[in-house]
A and B are shown apart, each in its own frame.
Chain A
């Protein structure tokens, strides 16, 4: 999941162009993510001001010890 900090966002579209899944929509000052996001994190790197953060929601499940 990508988290947007609206205080930092410049609404510049750097993330939109970098997104390989076309999962980001920008219109003037509206930036939205759709369900096509694959959590690849490229937008986080592309963002010049650090307005985006990748929140890992799908960690590896470690099976409980069986012994």
Chain B
């Protein structure tokens, strides 16, 4: 079961983006190795486990009971005063989504990749990129105490927020503090929630970010927080703010914590360039996370499909140059870039508002019927009804 010495494509990272890239490359005929450093695909979970329904439109995945546990009917966004906007799934369409079991979801996607012909190596770390006269020609892996070189025509970096492949390949993935968040989440039980809604709390309850409650059932939910690094003053603030929120919410205060999850999430604009000769980046590694919501699964999977398809085209054409790989740049940017930039601008504006301004915004929005939810529509609606409030937001509309 040890990997071969040479592949067309090596994908580094067995999350949704990596597995989807591997799957679409393998199913169309490339010889693919998917490398995951952890001993178990998908575990431990590092995710809020909320996902938009958008992925099902783009990628050949069907909701499976092993991971598709709660499709919500709406999202409620609470302002500091307690007023909220209800974003109805019927009206907002695919923006409101489902709560999933991420460990099973990752395993499901990896299994799809395997069924389509990709080889998977778990508990296998990539420790460096191999180069031949400056050009990437494979990866060095470490597995069970043994190091080996694996040749690859193309390397796909799907190694997440802390991507090493991106850094080794020379991409500038450094994040500003205002584009990075620190996140903590408890999977809680013994709750009494309305599982039809995902809840979001904005304002000083979570500086520069939000608190989320994503229910898996009436009794079980992910309760988490993300804080913008530029708003954090000292150590352990994510934990302190989250514990404070839980203590103040009667639905949560008798709950028990079954699992603690933490991690970093980028809320930046995407990288200007995610390809180089023989290299493509995808998912969190390419900073494809939605900067408004912090959600990365859908975008990673959607871009992963394009990435895998272009990998095969490159193998067929025997052309792995950055020029050829522009097909991937063009493909994923057509699908995602406009929304990423729009949401980045919206995030920049939202984090600059104090509690009073946020409450006004929530009040206005809750009075506006949102037939078609999008940043653009919301802002347009506000401008129509409350022009004085939206002056600040003019540049977004």
Contact = CB atoms under 8 A, between A and B. Distances in A.
B239 A50 contact: yes
B162 A13 contact: yes
Contacts, number: 80
A59 to B, nearest CB: 20
Interface string B157-197: 00011111001000000110100101110000000000000
Interface string A17-58: 110101000111000000000000010111111101100000
Nearest to A52: B235
26 contacts: A13-B162, A13-B263, A14-B182, A16-B161, A16-B162, A17-B160, A17-B163, A17-B180, A17-B264, A18-B180, A18-B229, A26-B162, A28-B37, A42-B229, A44-B235, A45-B177, A45-B234, A45-B235, A46-B229, A48-B183, A48-B236, A48-B262, A49-B184, A49-B236, A49-B238, A49-B262
Given A13-B264, A14-B262, A17-B161, A45 B184 contact: no
Contacts of A20: 174
Interface centre among A18, A44, A52, A53 (most CB of B within 10 A): A18
Interface centre among B46, B161, B180, B236 (most CB of A within 10 A): B236
A23 to B, nearest CB: 11
Interface of B: 37-39, 46, 125, 160-164, 167, 174-175, 177, 180, 182-184, 229, 232, 234-239, 260-264, 266
Contacts of A52: 235
Contacts of B260: 10
Interface residues of A, number: 23
A18 B175 contact: yes
A57 to B, nearest CB: 18
Contact of B263 (A12, A22, A28, A50): A12
Interface of A: 10, 12-18, 20, 22, 26-28, 42, 44-50, 52-53
A19 to B, nearest CB: 8
Contact of B229 (A13, A28, A45): A45
Shortest 10 CB-CB contacts between residues of A and residues of B? A50-B236, A14-B264, A48-B238, A16-B162, A48-B184, A50-B235, A17-B162, A17-B161, A12-B262, A17-B264
Contacts of B167: 22
Nearest to B263: A12
A37 to B, nearest CB: 15
A53 to B, nearest CB: 7
Nearest to A54: B235
A36 B164 CA distance: 15
Contacts of B238: 48-49
Given A14-B264, A28-B37, A48 B182 contact: yes
B215 to A, nearest CB: 22
Nearest to A49: B239
Nearest to B285: A17
Contacts of B39: 28
B43 to A, nearest CB: 11
A53 B262 contact: no
A28 B38 contact: yes
A42 B177 contact: yes
